[in-house]
């Protein structure tokens, strides 16, 4: 049972920014973002803070990124550069290399590199730092369960995504199957939103998607999600965290980033960022939140 | 067909000219409209081809790496995004197929699922490569673009394009052209009608005068209606008025000449008549003397009375025939056989004077609805001429009768023959031949005129054995002169 996370402004730490825009939203804004987000204002006494955003982030609008950057810059007290890449792998690599001070990654790479990464904060959604993975199909398709999805063209989000790949992979592994043979064809959209698009358009017959993204999309783009139907929801798993390289743990910059996220709800700009992301706030969290993901990772490694 | 054309030919100029204008306008507008639509169609097709080419160029360059990687999501994403970028193209669907012909991704995966082969019925619609195939009846266009990498084929793009907007635009242009041309045609035809009607109004005036002239009252165009002196119709009206004056003068002259001829004939007749009256007068006076001397002798008295009676009857016949023939005010009674027989009495003096033999065969029935006066005048004139032309002791013949509803009278003489110039006057068939200008043939002209007034014809011919045959033929049906007189 996941730990109950603090809710409300007073309970959310300053570093608890809850940006949850997913990566395909980001992908479309990479070009624009590089212009709009990064008016460089280096401090005389240090370099810019680099904050990585993976496609786990819901990146649907420029306003969100502008406000997040403004908020982090003001809260950290240093210029902040938002660094965005298309895949989880790219951001994870930049984080591990120390290029990034912190990054919003997925629980799966966090578990994969647990020995080299450290938690900075975990977003709180609907009162807890947890989310689910959904298996979705076309709204009109009469499907009762996962067994009916055999032979489908299936859309995954990212090979390093927990909800968009690992959960389904583990599910099939548990049944003695592997995605490449269970499904007629699989492909990656590198964006949770695009998994919904792929299923809604009929390109994919089923898809694995982040439950948080699907739920937020059902508020923002109900026309798109209403064309899909949830066949299966996974158990609750640790929400994609903000992490840093273990070497940077406890460093002043890292601490200021953590503080900025945990106290995001106290600030007007921060509050607006949380509202856009439909998040309650951020919590410090701990590694135990990701035990479920770690189990699936082990299961896949062991049986896959 | 001919009848229709003849009927159209009888339409007023004020209708025909605007009609011709309208027909020409319709023909011109049809040609122009066709030209415009052909050009519009070509322009539309060129623009469509350019747009389709740009669309396929953009797609193929971006799709090649994804096709090589078999990345169906990126292919779909490119197709999906291009829909907004090329909204002007109205692509119904776009399919990207691999080299094996199976669908990698389509803009509408529900309709064209991935990994399925391109439907055969569909692939047949795409003829050739990079060629826009139009199916205007369906409002669609089809185009196929092969995909290649390093000169090796790796797949193809199929696009169906909705061209109904273009066709609707073409229809709209056509309707606009039709409406505009119809409106212009109507306006021009209406304007043409009014203009031509105004222009031909003088013709109407002239036609009305000519129509009245046909009824016998030929009048000049009033000065107020003549218009400007230099205008075409002004000149025409002036010439018409001059013609009317000339005709009036000729009519007057003809009437005078006719009267003179009548009086001339009368003079000749009068001398003969005096002779005819004078002959019995001597016998009658002798009879009176005898009665005075032998009044007591009943035989002598009766014999004298018989002589007196015969003489008076002869005088009465001559006087009555003369009165009937030259009665002032014209003759309105119908022709009977007796009317011709009366003429014998009138020419008898001439016959006697020249010791001619008169053959008289009058088989005329009494039911002819012909005016007696003109016939009598014409026949008397011909008989007198025949008597005058025949040599002393010669023969003059009259035959009258009805043949096939026609009155036919033939007068033959043994004279030297009718001179050609006189014969041409006698035989003239013109509606209203002018009177002879040199005095010769005046009688022939008058006979011709009298007979033609009755709607008949007169013909004089030279007989092979010598002499002249003059033949008068008057139909009793549709005889204007007759109806007029009767």
pLDDT interval class at B58 (50, 70, 90): confident
DSSP run (H or E) holding B19: helix B13-69
A88 and A107, same domain (yes or no): yes
Q: Does residue A254 belong to any structural domain of this protein?
A: yes
The more confident residue out of B454 and A183 is: A183
Taking the CA of residue B36 and the nearest CA in chain A, the distance in Å comes to: 43
Q: How far is CA A200 from CA A28, A196, B65, B329, B417, in A?
A: 19, 6, 25, 116, 122
Residues of A in contact with B72 (CB under 8 A): 153, 185, 187, 203
Distance from CA of B174 to the nearest CA of A (A): 40
Domain final residue pick, A219, A234, A249: A234
Q: Compute the distance between CA of residue B73 and CA of residue B76 in angstroms, rounded to an integer.
A: 5
**Tokens 């509408």, residue?**
B108
Cα B352–Cα B357–Cα B361 angle in degrees, nearest 5: 120
Residue A99 has which token pair?
Answer: 């290029």
Q: Which residue of B has its CA nearest to A155?
A: B73
Lowest mean pLDDT among A11-15, A199-203, B327-331, B345-349: A11-15
B113 CB within 8 Å of a chain A CB: yes
Q: How far apart are CA B458 and CA B349, in angstroms?
A: 26
Model pLDDT, residue A38: 39
CATH classification at residue B431: 3.30.565.10
Each residue's pLDDT tens digit, B208-249: 888 887 766 778 888 888 877 778 888 888 888 888 888 888
Same domain, B271 and B157: no
pLDDT, mean of residues B142-164? 90
**b/e map of B413-430 (b: 16 or more CB within 10 Å)?**
bbbebbeeebbebbbbee
The CATH code of the domain that includes B144 is 3.30.450.20
Same domain? For B167 and B315 the reply is no
Identify the pLDDT of residue A14. Answer: 31
**CA–CA distance, B105 with B67 (Å, rounded to integer):** 10
Whether the per-residue pLDDT at A4 is higher than 60: the answer is: no
Distance from CA of B74 to the nearest CA of A (A): 8
Statement: the pTM of the whole predicted model exceeds 0.80: no
Domain for residue B48, yes or no?
yes
Residues B284 and B426 in one domain: yes
Domain end point (choices A184, A209, A234):
A234
Confirm whether A1 is domain-assigned. no
Higher pLDDT, A105 or B22: A105
Query: Are the C-beta atoms of residues B227 and B202 closer than 8 Å to each other?
Result: yes
| Closest-CA distance of chain A to residue B128, Å | 28
pLDDT at A11: 30
Does any domain span residue B237?
A: no
Within-domain flag for A28: yes
Task: State residue A157 phi and psi, 5-degree precision.
Answer: -85, -60
Strands (E), B219-378: 357-362
pLDDT at A61 over 90: no
Alpha carbon of residue A89 to chain centroid: 13
From A41-45, B76-80, B210-214, B249-253, the region with the lowest mean pLDDT: A41-45
Q: Examine residue A168 and state whether it is found in any structural domain, yes or no.
A: yes
- The per-residue pLDDT for A136 is 97
pLDDT in tens, B276-315: 677 778 778 888 888 888 878 888 888 888 888 888 887 8
| Pairwise CB contact (< 8 Å): A202 & B105 | no
Does B412 reside within a domain? yes
Tokens for B40, please give them.
């519009």
| DSSP, residue by residue, A118-171 | EEEEEEEBTTBSEE-EEEEEETT----SGGGGTT-EEEES-TT-IIIIIHHHHH
Two tokens, residue A234: 């996974």
Residue A230 reports pLDDT greater than 60: yes
Inter-chain touch B76–A184, beta carbons under 8 Å: no
Whether A7 is covered by a domain: the verdict is no
Closest residue, chain A, to B70 (C-alpha): A187
A228 & A151 share domain: yes
Q: What is the mean pLDDT of residues A172-201?
A: 94
> Mean pLDDT across the stretch A221-230?
95
Are B108 and A202 within 8 A, CB to CB? yes
User: Which helix (H) or strand (E) element contains residue B24?
Assistant: helix B13-69
Q: Which of B77, B108, B115 lies closest to A153 in CB terms?
A: B115
- Identify the pLDDT of residue B261: 73
Asked whether residue A147 falls in the same domain as residue A227, the answer is: yes
CA gap B468, B162 in Å, rounded: 97
pLDDT digits (tens, 9 = 90+) for B255-284: 788 777 777 767 766 776 776 677 778 778
Q: Which residue has the higher pLDDT, B20 or B435?
A: B20
> Is residue B248 in some structural domain?
no
Within 8 A of A187 by CB-CB distance, chain B residues are 71-73
Confirm whether A119 is domain-assigned: yes
- Is residue B242 assigned to a domain? no
Q: Which helix (H) or strand (E) holds B55?
A: helix B13-69
Query: Phi and psi at residue B261, in whole multiples of 5°?
Result: -60, -40
Q: What is the mean pLDDT of residues B170-184?
A: 86
Q: Are residues A125 and A259 in the same domain?
A: yes
Size of interface A-B (CB pairs under 8 A): 35
User: Confidence class of residue A234 from pLDDT cuts 50, 70 and 90?
Assistant: very high
A122 and A44 both lie in a single domain: yes
The domain boundary residue, chosen from B185, B205, B221: B185
Q: Which domain holds residue B457?
A: 255-485
Same-domain pairing of A52 and A104: yes
SS3 B359: strand
Residues of chain A found within 8 Å of residue B105, distances taken between Cβ atoms: 203
The share of chain B scoring above pLDDT 90, in percent, equals 14
- Report the distance separating Cα B146 and Cα B130, nearest Å: 8
- The length of chain A in residues reads 304
DSSP for chain A reads -PPPPP-STTTS-TB-----B-HHHHHHHHHHHHHHT------TTS--EEEEE-TTSB---HHHHHHHHHHHHHHHSS-EEEEE-SSHHHHHHHHHTTS-SEEE--HHHHHHTTTTEEEEEEEEBTTBSEE-EEEEEETT----SGGGGTT-EEEES-TT-IIIIIHHHHHHHHTT--HHHHSSEEEE-SSHHHHHHHHHHTSSSEEEEEHHHHHHHHHH-HHHHTTEEEEEE---EEPPPEEEEGGGTT-HHHHHHHHHHHTGGGSHHHHHHHHHHT--EEE---GGGGHHHHHHHHHHHHH-
Instruction: Say yes or no: B7 contacts chain A, CB-CB below 8 A.
Output: no
Domain boundary among A180, A202, A234: A234
Which has the closest alpha carbon to A67: A283, A278, A275? A275
Q: Residue A119's pLDDT is what?
A: 96
Beta-bridge mates of residue B470: B411, B460
Higher pLDDT, B412 or B443: B412
Q: Among partner residues A188, A189, A202, which is closest to B109 by beta-carbon distance?
A: A202
Residue written as token pair 């389509």: B106
> Can you give the pLDDT at residue B268?
67
Q: List residues of A whose CB lies inside 8 A of any B CB.
A: 153, 155, 184-185, 187-189, 194, 197-198, 201-203
- Please give the average per-residue pLDDT across B115-134, as a whole number: 83
Structural domain boundaries, residue A154: 133-234
Q: Which of A93, A111, A243 is nearest to A167 (CA)?
A: A111
Could you tell me which chain B residue has the CA closest to the CA of A197?
B77
Region label for B204, one of left (φ > 0), alpha (ψ between -120 and 50) or beta (otherwise)? alpha
Instruction: At A110, list the tokens.
Output: 């966090």
Question: What is the predicted pLDDT for the residue at A241?
Answer: 96
Is residue A17 within 8 Å of residue A260, measured between CB atoms? Answer: yes
Cα A220 from Cα A104, distance rounded (Å): 22
Q: How does pLDDT run across A123-144, given as a tens digit for each residue?
A: 999 999 999 999 999 999 999 8
What integer pLDDT is reported at residue B270 of this predicted model? Answer: 73
C-alpha closest to that of B73 among A198, A46, A231, A82 = A198
Is residue B241 in some structural domain? no
A194/B77 Cβ within 8 A: yes
B69: closest chain A residue by CA:
A187
Residue B457, class by beta-carbon neighbours within 10 Å (0-12 exposed, 13-18 middle, 19+ buried)? middle
∠ CA A121-A122-A123, rounded to 5°: 125
CA atoms within 13 A on the CB side of B477: 5
Whether B435 shows a pLDDT value over 70: the answer reads no
Give the nearest chain B residue to A189 (CA atoms): B73
| 3-class state of residue B192 by DSSP | helix
- The minimal CB distance from B71 to the residues A153, A187, A202 is found for A187
Tokens of B301: 């008295």
Taking contacts as CB-CB distances below 8 angstroms, the residues of chain A near B85 are none
3 state SS of B401: strand
Q: Looking at per-residue confidence, does A86 or A17 come out higher? A: A86
**Out of B73, B105, B113, whose CB is closest to A189?**
B73
Contact B109 A155 (CB under 8 A): no
Q: Are residues A160 and A98 in the same domain?
A: no
Compare B214 and B438 and report the one with higher pLDDT.
B214
Chain A touched by B152 (CB under 8 Å): no
User: Is residue A12 domain-resident?
Assistant: no
| Least Cα separation, residue A226 to chain B (angstroms) | 16
Strands A153-156 and A185-188: parallel
In a domain, B367, yes or no: yes
Q: What pLDDT score does A22 carry?
A: 38
Residue of A nearest to B103 (CA): A203
Is B76's CB within 8 Å of A202's CB?
no
Report the pLDDT value the prediction gives residue A31, as an integer from 0 to 100.
Answer: 30
Among B185, B201, B221, where does a domain finish?
Answer: B185
Does residue B83 sit at the A interface (CB-CB below 8 Å)? no
pLDDT score of A166:
97
pLDDT tens sequence across A206-223: 999 999 999 999 998 999
R_g of chain A computed on alpha carbons: 18
pLDDT at A30 over 70: no
Give the pLDDT band (50/70/90) at residue A29. very low
Residue A6 within a domain: no
Q: What is the CA radius of gyration of chain B?
A: 50
Percent of chain A with pLDDT over 70: 82
Residues of B in contact with A153 (CB under 8 A): 72, 113-115
Is residue A279 within 8 A of residue A124, CB to CB? The reply is yes
- B72 and chain A in contact, CB less than 8 A: yes
Number of domains in chain A: 2
Domain identity same for A215 and A277: no
Kindly state whether residues A119 and A247 are assigned to the same domain. yes
Residues 6+ apart with CB under 8 A from B10: none
Question: For A159-173, B169-183, B234-248, B326-340, which range has the lowest pLDDT when averaged over its residues?
Answer: B326-340
Angle at B149 between CA B146 and CA B152, to 5 degrees: 75
Is B104 within 8 Å of chain A by CB? no
Highest average pLDDT, of B96-105, B178-187, B422-431, comes from B96-105
Contact B80 A184 (CB under 8 A): no
Rounded distance, CA A254 to CA B64, Å?
Answer: 43
Q: Are residues B168 and B308 in the same domain?
A: no
Together in a domain, A211 and A171: yes
Task: Give SS3 for B147.
Answer: strand
Closest Cα of chain A to B133: distance in Å? 28
For B413-428, the pLDDT digits (tens) are 988 888 888 888 888 8
Same domain, B352 and B474: yes
Phi, psi of B95 (to 5 degrees): -120, 135
A268 versus B482: the higher-pLDDT residue is: A268
Domain with residue A92: its CATH number is 3.40.190.10
Q: What is the pLDDT of residue B445?
A: 81
A118 and A204 within one domain: no
Burial classification of residue B396, based on how many CB atoms lie within 10 Å of its CB (0-12 exposed, 13-18 middle, 19 or more buried): buried
Does the pLDDT value for residue B402 go beyond 80?
yes
In chain B, residues with a C-beta closer than 8 Å to the C-beta of A184 are 115
Domains contained in chain B, number: 2
Nearest CA in chain A to B71: A187
Residues A146, A114 share a domain:
no
* Interchain proximity A203–B108, CB inside 8 Å: no
Domain limit, last residue, from B136, B152, B185? B185
Model pLDDT, residue A9:
29
């Amino acid at each position: 049972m996941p730990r109950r996370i603090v809710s409300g402004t007073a309970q959310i730490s300053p570093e608890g920014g809850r940006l949850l825009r997913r990566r395909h939203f980001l992908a479309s804004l990479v070009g624009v973002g590089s212009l709009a987000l990064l008016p460089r204002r280096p401090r005389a006494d240090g370099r810019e803070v680099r904050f990585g955003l993976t496609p786990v982030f819901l990146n649907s609008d420029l306003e969100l990124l502008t406000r997040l950057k403004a908020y982090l810059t003001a809260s950290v007290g240093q210029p902040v550069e938002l660094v965005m890449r298309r895949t989880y792998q790219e951001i994870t690599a930049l984080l591990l290399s120390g290029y990034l001070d912190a990054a919003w990654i997925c629980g799966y790479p966090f578990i994969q590199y647990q020995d080299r990464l450290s938690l900075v904060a975990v977003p709180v959604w609907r009162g807890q730092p947890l989310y689910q993975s959904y298996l979705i199909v076309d709204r009109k398709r009469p499907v009762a369960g996962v067994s009916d999805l055999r032979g489908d063209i299936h859309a995954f989000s990212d090979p390093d995504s927990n909800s968009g790949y690992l959960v389904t992979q583990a599910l099939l592994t548990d049944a003695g199957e592997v995605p490449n043979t269970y499904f007629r064809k699989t492909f990656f959209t590198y964006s949770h939103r695009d998994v919904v698009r792929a299923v809604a358009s009929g390109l994919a017959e089923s898809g694995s998607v982040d439950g948080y993204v699907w739920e937020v999309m059902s508020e923002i783009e109900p026309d798109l999600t209403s064309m899909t139907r949830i066949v299966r929801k996974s158990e609750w798993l640790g929400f994609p965290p903000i992490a840093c390289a273990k070497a940077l743990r406890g460093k002043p910059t890292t601490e200021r980033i953590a503080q900025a996220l945990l106290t995001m709800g106290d600030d007007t700009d921060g509050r607006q960022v949380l509202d856009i992301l439909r998040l309650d706030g951020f919590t410090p969290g701990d590694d135990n939140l990701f035990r479920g993901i770690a189990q699936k990772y082990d299961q896949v490694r062991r049986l896959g | 067909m001919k009848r229709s054309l003849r009927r159209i030919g009888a339409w007023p100029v004020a209708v025909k000219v605007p009609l011709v204008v309208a027909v020409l306008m319709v023909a011109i507008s049809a040609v122009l409209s066709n030209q415009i639509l052909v050009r519009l169609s070509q322009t539309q097709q060129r623009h469509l081809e350019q747009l389709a080419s740009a669309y396929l160029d953009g797609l193929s360059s971006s799709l090649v790496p994804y096709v090589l990687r078999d990345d169906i999501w990126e292919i779909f994403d490119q197709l999906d995004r291009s829909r907004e970028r090329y909204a002007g193209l109205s692509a119904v669907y776009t399919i990207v197929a691999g080299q094996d012909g199976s669908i990698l991704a389509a803009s509408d995966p529900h309709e064209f699922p991935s990994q399925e082969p391109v439907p055969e019925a569909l692939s047949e619609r795409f003829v050739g490569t990079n060629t826009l195939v139009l199916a205007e009846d369906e409002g669609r266009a089809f185009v196929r673009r092969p995909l290649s990498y390093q000169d090796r084929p790796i797949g193809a793009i199929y696009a169906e394009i909705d061209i109904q907007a273009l066709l609707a635009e073409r229809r709209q242009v056509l309707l606009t052209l039709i409406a505009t041309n119809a409106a212009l045609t109507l306006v021009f035809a209406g304007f043409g009608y009014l203009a031509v009607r105004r222009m031909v109004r003088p013709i109407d005036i002239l036609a009305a005068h000519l129509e009245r002239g046909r009824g016998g009252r030929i009048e000049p165009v009033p000065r107020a209606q003549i218009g400007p002196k230099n205008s075409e119709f002004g000149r025409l009206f002036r010439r018409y008025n001059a013609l009317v004056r000339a005709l009036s003068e000729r009519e007057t002259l003809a009437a005078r000449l006719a009267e003179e001829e009548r009086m001339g004939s009368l003079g000749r007749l009068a001398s003969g008549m005096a002779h005819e009256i004078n002959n019995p007068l001597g016998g009658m006076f002798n009879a009176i003397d005898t009665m005075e001397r032998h009044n007591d002798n009943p035989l002598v008295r009766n014999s004298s009375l018989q002589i007196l009676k015969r003489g008076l009857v002869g005088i009465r016949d001559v006087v009555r025939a003369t009165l009937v023939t030259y009665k002032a005010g014209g003759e309105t009674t119908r022709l009977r056989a007796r009317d011709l027989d009366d003429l014998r009495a009138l020419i008898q003096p001439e016959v006697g004077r020249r010791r001619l033999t008169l053959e008289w065969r009058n088989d005329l029935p009494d039911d002819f609805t012909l005016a007696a006066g003109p016939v009598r005048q014409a026949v008397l004139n011909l008989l007198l001429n025949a008597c005058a032309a025949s040599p002393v002791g010669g023969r003059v013949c009259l035959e009258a009768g009805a043949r096939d509803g026609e009155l036919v009278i033939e007068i033959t003489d043994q004279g030297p023959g009718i001179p050609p110039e006189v014969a041409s006057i006698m035989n003239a068939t013109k509606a209203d031949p002018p009177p002879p200008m040199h005095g010769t043939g005046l009688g022939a002209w008058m006979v011709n005129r009298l007979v033609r007034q009755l709607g008949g014809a007169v013909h004089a011919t030279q007989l092979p054995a010598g002499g002249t045959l003059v033949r008068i033929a008057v139909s009793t049906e549709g005889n204007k002169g007759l109806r007029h007189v009767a």
